[in-house]
């Protein structure tokens, strides 16, 4: 019966201390019918009044503050000091003309800040979108129907339907509670779960004593219940401590730490080199004026700023964010950006069978009873199908009893939506339970029997009990208990057997026969469940597991869940990538062995399947041996998963573990990559996991591993590119100063003065145009090398190892050599002058420097092609990344403008080039590509021999 009508909530305040009053009064004060919940109009009105169910975190800093934060870098501070000194020198010397160096450097600093600001905004937007993807859900009663909504959509008066594994979405007053226990450590600090009840408590009771309430951010660990929402958002108890949560800082990932270490190391090294360069220039040329001293200082500071890729963290965040968004588009939602680093290193995938390796389209096709069996046709969740009875009327009657008990001991919901075919039928709840709801329509008379009962009590299913029971009352006022669970568990509680319309004692022979039937169905790949019943004790008050005794065994059902079509290919791909797959299931060992053989998880069939009981008998040393050798585990409880994770990790494996139940959460948290099921997974497992599978599909895990490896490869690509390009700039200036006299790098108008190949503004320009665009483009590079053809990356393997450092130094030296060679070739006093003739003497230095400057820019573009693969030719899939070529086009146009536009010539100290100088610059820069192609070819030849 529905609650008495109440005034609209808009006319009443939210109830104070709702735990102190009867649940019915609280529901009345909230103007909600507990049997129907709110309707859509009421939900919208209440959301408009009370706002969304969200905690208000620390406000995002305004855009201007985030933009100014881009200048908060020690190297930028150095450059700003140099700008001040340069401006002071310009002012002291008469302030003639415009302070070009000051203007150019400030303009480059602003452009760099704009690029960093845009990149960080993209990363933050991607993380915000990721938070939306992983938003918690809640089951509510609206318009008399169960619905799953985002927790942020809850409003006061919503009726929450709680079950094991749910995350409580808002503070709520319990109206029903059956064996309900809630973990409230996030609020109270107490590790033990709290047993809940509907009885009121004192108004001044502490949070831990408010047993009639459930609170936002807590987790249901067992039992079921219904509650009416009394507070949302910042009005909740969790909202009161939101400030504490805002102050929590996340730890940097190993990848972040290594990037920071590299940046610090480069910063120290380059500052030392810059000091050497400045000292060498002063020793060679002296400092004959304040202007010359400022030029030396600007060059040294610019070299330090350009050589350290200060934008690297922002680029890294953007690349990771883009990669994570791409993973999400393929149904793999990573909750944290840096988890991608671990994903590509996975060496073991420990996967559930149901729904992950199989379709999770549970279809009940066999009913086996004492008198025979009934075979049901049809697949999926559409209730279309027929029943073929083998065993006469008694078998049909027994089958009706089995389905009736299975439907009554059930919390799933079958809905019909708009659409065609099987897709018009959807389920809420456990797919195995939904299989009973579908089957009842295929055997005449079952649905009518089911409707005769209404529920009065429930002992919920749990992974430890492996069964559930309900107490129902019929239209004729008969009270009956229906139980459903694993056959071996249920048989232990049965003392009689249903045969036709009568019962008889359950004999040892009957038990043995049922065990044989379980083995037979399991060997055929069926999941088996048994159903039992008995009349309830008339003089017993309440209902708990103490009533689960002296049951009458009705029979068992066989539920088929066929392997996913793509699973076998995905398993083969994982094997090729050096990843071992371990299948874990609660099913019968014969079922597990059959599925594992069909999928190719094991080579020989029947495969050895180790059970949970066998695991219990093993010590840690023996378990380690078993974990190393066995890939199939059956009748396994969640605590066994945790032991398996620990054993595999102790063996040096990087473990990805899947889970969906609340008790899977410890194993998911302990594993290197916890994978929660997005469809069947509980909110608790989703919170504990690293990754959520939107489609509950094993093949998605393998695709995610592939994408994780591609993302990690791309990180190495742009690191290789940035560091080797910056090494080229450092080496060019360093060796240009140290070897300038020997090379004949002299000012044609003043042969006593040695010159440097690049000006400070030119170095900063190279850093600006070549670092961001190509590096970001490589961050979204498609797969170039076959990433699944190699074994997983070792956890202790450096991102930049000794081999990569040697390649970075090699490319840097080649880049410096061709740049200095071009500079030398364009000066009249060089070792092998070829293009100095015909250029006016007062223009020769500017033309030579511009040609060298242009050579370095194009050398870095060729280096980007090199960096796409450590071993493969740059010509392999050369045009597969349009973003990279777009960045090349931008850099080329920008460089032409800097060289040929008059006012930019003044700003950057460049001069127009003729066709010969352009050809020399581009041709010489291609040497970087040729040299690396030769090195790669030699490596491939050695690897093949």
Helix axes 312-329, 760-779, angle to 10 degrees: 20
Could you tell me the two tokens for 24?
């019915």
Helix axes 698-738, 567-576, angle to 10 degrees: 30
Centre a 10 Å sphere on the Cβ of residue 863 and count the other Cβ atoms it contains: 26
> Is residue 606 reached through a cis peptide bond, with omega within 30 degrees of 0 on the bond before it?
yes
Could you tell me the two tokens for 115?
């690029």
Sheet (strand 655-659) strand order: 332-334, 691-693, 673-677, 655-659, 348-352, 580-584, 632-634, 610-611
Could you tell me the two tokens for 789?
């053809």
The answer to whether the beta carbons of residues 342 and 673 sit under 8 Å apart is: yes
Q: Which residue has the tokens 């079952």?
A: 446
What's the first-to-final CA gap in the chain, in angstroms? Answer: 82
Using CA atoms, how far residue 799 sits from 257, 454, 720, 759, in Å, is 11, 62, 10, 33
Torsion angle (degrees, nearest 10) of CA 516, 521, 524, 527: -130
Report the candidate in 582, 561, 763 with the shortest Cα–Cα distance to residue 675.
582
User: Which distant-in-sequence residues (6+ apart) come within 8 Å of 717 by Cβ?
Assistant: 778, 779, 781, 867, 868
The answer to whether the beta carbons of residues 764 and 105 sit under 8 Å apart is: yes
The answer to whether the beta carbons of residues 585 and 520 sit under 8 Å apart is: no
Residue-wise DSSP of 31-73: T--TTT-B-HHHHHHHHHHH--S----PPPPPHHHHHHGGG-S
Active site annotation includes 125: no
Q: Which residues of 253-265 are buried (b: 16+ CB within 10 A; e: fewer)?
A: bebbebbeebbee
Q: Which long-range contacts (CB under 8 A, 24 or more apart) does 828-833 make?
A: 828/748, 829/744, 829/745, 829/746, 829/748, 829/751, 830/743, 830/744, 830/745, 831/743, 831/744
Centre a 10 Å sphere on the Cβ of residue 817 and count the other Cβ atoms it contains: 18
The answer to whether the beta carbons of residues 898 and 904 sit under 8 Å apart is: yes
Query: Residue 491 and residue 395: Cα distance in Å, rounded?
Result: 19
Could you tell me the two tokens for 732?
């060019």
Centre a 10 Å sphere on the Cβ of residue 134 and count the other Cβ atoms it contains: 18
- Residue 390 pairs in a beta bridge with 373
Q: Which residue has the tokens 């340069």?
A: 86
The answer to whether the beta carbons of residues 912 and 896 sit under 8 Å apart is: no
Catalytic residue among 352, 397, 660, 771: 352
Query: Residue 681 and residue 41: Cα distance in Å, rounded?
Result: 30
Query: Residue 730 and residue 744: Cα distance in Å, rounded?
Result: 20
The answer to whether the beta carbons of residues 757 and 732 sit under 8 Å apart is: yes
Query: Residue 852 and residue 834: Cα distance in Å, rounded?
Result: 14
User: Which distant-in-sequence residues (6+ apart) come within 8 Å of 122 by Cβ?
Assistant: 318, 321, 322
Query: Residue 490 and residue 813: Cα distance in Å, rounded?
Result: 75
Catalytic site positions: 352
């Amino acid at each position: 019966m529905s609650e008495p009508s109440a005034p609209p909530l808009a006319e009443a305040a939210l109830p104070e201390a709702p735990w102190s009053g009867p649940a019915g009064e609280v529901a009345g004060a909230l103007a909600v019918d507990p049997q129907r919940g709110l309707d859509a109009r009421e939900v919208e009105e209440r959301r408009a009044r009370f706002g969304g169910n969200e905690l208000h975190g620390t406000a995002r800093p305004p855009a201007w503050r985030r933009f100014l934060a881009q200048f908060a870098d020690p190297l930028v501070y150095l450059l700003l000091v140099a700008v001040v000194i340069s401006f002071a020198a310009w002012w002291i010397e008469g302030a003639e003309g415009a302070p070009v160096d000051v203007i150019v450097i400030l303009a480059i600093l602003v452009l760099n800040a704009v690029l960093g600001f845009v990149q960080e905004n993209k990363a933050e937007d991607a993380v915000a979108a990721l938070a939306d993807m992983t938003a918690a859900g809640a089951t509510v009663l609206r318009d008399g129907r169960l619905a799953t909504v985002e927790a942020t959509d809850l409003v006061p008066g919503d009726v929450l339907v709680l079950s094991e594994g749910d995350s409580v979405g808002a503070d709520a007053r319990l109206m029903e509670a059956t064996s309900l226990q809630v973990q409230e450590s996030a609020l109270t600090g107490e590790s033990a779960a709290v047993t809940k009840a509907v009885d009121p408590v004192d108004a001044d009771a502490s949070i831990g004593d408010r047993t009639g309430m459930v609170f936002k951010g807590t987790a249901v660990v067992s039992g079921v219940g219904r509650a009416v929402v009394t507070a949302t958002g910042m009005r909740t108890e969790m909202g009161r401590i939101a400030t504490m949560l805002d102050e929590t800082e996340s730890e940097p990932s190993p990848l972040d730490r290594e990037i920071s270490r590299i940046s610090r190391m480069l910063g120290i090294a380059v500052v030392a080199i810059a000091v050497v360069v400045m000292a060498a220039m002063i020793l060679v040329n002296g400092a004959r004026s304040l202007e010359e001293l400022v030029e030396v200082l600007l060059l040294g500071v610019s070299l330090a700023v350009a050589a350290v890729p200060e934008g690297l963290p922002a680029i890294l965040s953007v690349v990771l964010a883009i990669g994570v968004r791409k993973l999400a588009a393929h149904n793999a939602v990573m909750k944290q950006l840096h988890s991608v680093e671990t994903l590509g290193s996975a060496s073991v995938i420990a996967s559930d069978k149901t729904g992950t390796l199989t379709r999770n389209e549970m279809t009940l096709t066999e009913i086996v009873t004492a008198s025979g069996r009934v075979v049901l046709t049809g697949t999926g969740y559409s209730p279309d199908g027929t029943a073929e009875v083998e065993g006469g009327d008694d078998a049909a009657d027994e089958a009706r009893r089995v389905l009736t008990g299975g439907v009554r001991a059930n919390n799933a919901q079958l809905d019909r939506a708009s659409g065609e075919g099987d897709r018009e039928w959807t389920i809420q709840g456990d797919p195995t339970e939904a299989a009973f709801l579908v089957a009842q329509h295929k055997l005449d008379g079952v649905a009518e029997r089911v409707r005769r009962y209404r529920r009065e009590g429930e002992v919920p299913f749990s992974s430890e009990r492996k069964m559930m029971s309900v107490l129902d009352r019929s239209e004729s006022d008969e009270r009956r208990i229906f139980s459903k669970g694993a056959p071996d568990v249920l048989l232990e509680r049965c003392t009689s057997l249903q045969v036709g319309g009568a019962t008889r004692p359950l004999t040892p022979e009957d038990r043995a026969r049922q065990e044989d039937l379980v083995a037979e169905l399991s060997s055929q790949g069926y999941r088996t469940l048994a159903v039992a019943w008995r009349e309830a004790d008339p003089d017993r008050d309440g209902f708990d597991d103490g009533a689960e005794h002296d049951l009458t065994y009705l029979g068992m059902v066989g539920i088929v869940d066929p392997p996913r079509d793509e699973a076998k290919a995905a398993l083969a791909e994982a094997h090729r990538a050096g990843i071992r797959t371990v299948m874990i299931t609660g099913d019968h060992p014969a079922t597990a062995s059959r599925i594992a053989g069909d999928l190719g998880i094991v080579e020989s069939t029947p495969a050895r399947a180790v059970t949970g009981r066998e695991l219990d008998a093993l010590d840690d040393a023996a378990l380690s041996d078993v974990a190393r050798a066995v890939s199939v585990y059956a009748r396994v409880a969640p605590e066994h998963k945790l032991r398996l994770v620990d054993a595999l990790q102790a063996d040096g494996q990087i473990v990805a573990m899947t889970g969906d139940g609340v008790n899977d959460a410890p194993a998911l948290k302990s594993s290197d990559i916890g994978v929660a099921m997005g469809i069947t997974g509980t909110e608790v497992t989703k919170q504990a996991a690293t990754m959520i599978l939107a489609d509950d599909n094993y093949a998605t895990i393998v695709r995610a591993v592939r994408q994780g490896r591609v993302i990690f490869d791309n990180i190495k690509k742009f690191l290789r590119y940035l560091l080797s390009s910056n090494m080229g700039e450092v080496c060019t200036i360093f060796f240009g100063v140290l070897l300038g006299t020997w090379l004949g790098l002299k000012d044609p108008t003043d042969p006593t003065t040695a010159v440097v190949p690049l000006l400070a503004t030119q170095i900063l320009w190279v850093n600006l145009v070549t670092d961001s665009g190509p590096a970001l483009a490589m961050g979204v590079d498609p797969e170039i090398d076959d990433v699944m053809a190699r074994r997983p990356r070792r956890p202790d393997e450096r991102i930049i190892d000794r081999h990569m450092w040697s390649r970075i130094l090699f490319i840097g030296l080649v880049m410096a050599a061709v740049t200095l060679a071009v500079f030398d070739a364009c000066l009249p006093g060089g070792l092998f002058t070829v293009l100095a003739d015909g250029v006016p003497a007062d223009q020769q230095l500017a033309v030579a420097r511009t040609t060298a400057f242009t050579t370095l820019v194009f050398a870095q573009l060729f280096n980007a092609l090199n960096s796409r693969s450590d071993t493969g030719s740059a010509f392999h899939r050369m045009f597969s990344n349009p973003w990279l070529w777009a960045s090349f086009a931008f850099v080329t146009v920008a460089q032409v403008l800097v060289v040929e536009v008059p006012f930019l010539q003044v700003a950057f100290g460049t001069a127009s080039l003729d066709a010969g100088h352009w050809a020399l610059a581009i041709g010489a820069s291609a040497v970087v590509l040729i040299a690396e192609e030769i090195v790669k070819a030699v490596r491939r030849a050695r690897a093949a021999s």
